[in-house]
Each structure stands twice: as structure tokens, then as C-alpha cells.
Amino acid sequence: MPDGFEERLRQRATIKNNTLSTIPTNEVHMPLGNIPNTPLAASTISFLLGSVFSLALLAFISGALGRSPWAYYQLGFFVTAWAAFHWGEFAVTAGWNLDKCSVDSFLLDNGALYHIANGLAVVEFLITLYFKPEFKLQPYISTIGIVMVLVGQTLRSTAMIHASTNFSHAVAFRKLETHRLVTDGIYAWFRHPSYAGFFYWGLGTQLVLQNPVSFVVFTIILWRFFYYRTRAEEKALVKFFGDEYVKYRQRVGIKIPFIP
């Protein structure tokens, strides 16, 4: 048999037995089941996210160039960033962490609170725009937000790509043979770069919309979430890697305010 022939047969058998080309090998990463883990579901979600991204990007560009109502660029960028984030989560997982990839890698099924918060942010923007449009006339605030979103998205995606199979959307409490402590690249500057990236991405979206109430709410929710998540994760990392992780933790910070 030619080299690799048996491996290709094994992969074909795996594809036939699974709904996607692969499903997570660890039960911790198995999809929740609220969204069908099928090629149809994955392709449909990708198509919808791509469509939303394209329309929102058009609104952003049109508003920024003054060819449509000026407020379109703020809401357009927010929706563009949202669609790009969720598609990117799946794409990066599929490209660099295939064994953990499922339809849940889009992170569209990550809790009702997340979707409620985003929905309320849009509501706040529209209500303020209707009653007090002058409150949305601070372009430098939106510009800062755009920069934060782009930096946050880059930071998160870079972290996921660099960590590759060591990255997980779910906290791992059992050490696998393939686990290694990643301390180079972006991890030499941020202890949890994917968390820091999403934290600043989320706050940036609210600066773009110039939503003072949602900005405060997002800050509280995201900070609490990442505080407790990092506490739980770091206990597991100390258990996995011992003094090696303790020394790394002393050397590199998380870079989220008031989270040591």
C-alpha cells in the first residue's frame, strides 16, 4: 500500500461515523446539543454570519463615508465585529485545534446572558439615538472603541493560534499527555491573552456605540466572569505544571485590571 493509505482510510471511516469531519475526542469538549453538530448546521451558520458581516460592513463603510445616516457606522461596526468574532472562533478552532472543533466552537451557545447583554446594548444605542442623538456625537470615543475591538480580536485569535491544541474553550481539569505549558509568543506578554483579548473586545464594542450604561454593565459582567474563570483555571494549571507555572505566573500578568 502507498504511504499514508491506511491513515486516509481511517480518516474516511471517522468522517462517516461522525457528523462533522471530527468531533471532540474529550467529553469535556463535546457539543451541548442545542445546535445540531452537522455539516449543514455549520455551513448554514457560516453563511448567515457571513451575510450579516457583509451587510453590517457595508453599513459601516457607508456611514463612515457620509453616504448614509452617520449613526450607521457605529451600529454597523458593532454588528460587523460580532459576526466576525463568532465566525473566527470556529475558523481558528477548525484550523489549529481540530480535535476540539464542533458546531459549538462558534460560541453562539455560550449562555443567555451574553445574548441578552448584546441585545440590551443595541436597545440602549437605538433609544439614545432617538431621544438624545447628540449623545452619540463623540467620534473620538468610537475611534478608541474600534481600535480596542481590533486589538482585542487580534490578541484573542493570536492566542488561540499560538496555543493550538493546548487551547480550549472549556477549562480543562484533567491533564492530557499532549498538554504543555505555553509561555512563549504572545503568552510571554499575557498570561491569559485570549481572556484579555475578549475583555477589551467587549468593552471596545460599547465604546463604538457610545453606550455608557452598557459599558459599565459589560465591565462588571466580563470582569467577574474572567476573575472566577482564571481562579479556577489557575488552580488546575498549578496542579498540572507545579512550580513551572507558579514561576510563570509571577513573571507574566493577565493584563486585566485588578485580576492578579
Per-residue model confidence (pLDDT) at position 1: 43
C-alpha cell at 142: 468610537
Residue that has been written with the C-alpha cell 451574553 in this structure: 114
Please state, in angstroms and rounded to a whole number, the distance separating the CA atoms of residues 195 and 191. Answer: 9
| 150 pLDDT more than 70 | yes
Please state, in angstroms and rounded to a whole number, the distance separating the CA atoms of residues 210 and 78. Answer: 11
Helices (H), the chain: 5-17, 39-64, 72-96, 112-131, 139-163, 193-209, 212-241, 243-251
Domain ranges for the chain: 13-251
Q: Which fold has domain 13-251?
A: Four Helix Bundle (Hemerythrin (Met), subunit A) (1.20.120)
The string of DSSP letters for 66-117 reads TSS-TTHHHHHHHHHHHHHHHHHHHHHHHHH-GGG--GGGG-TTS-HHHHHH
pLDDT in tens, 57-85: 999 999 988 887 877 899 999 999 999 99
Torsion, Cα 198 199 205 209, to 10 degrees, reads 170
Whether residue 7 contacts residue 80, with contact meaning beta carbons closer than 8 Å, is answered with: no
Confidence of residue 21 (pLDDT cuts 50, 70, 90): low
Coil, strand, or helix at residue 9?
A: helix
Q: What is the pTM of this model?
A: 0.90
Per-residue model confidence (pLDDT) at position 71: 76
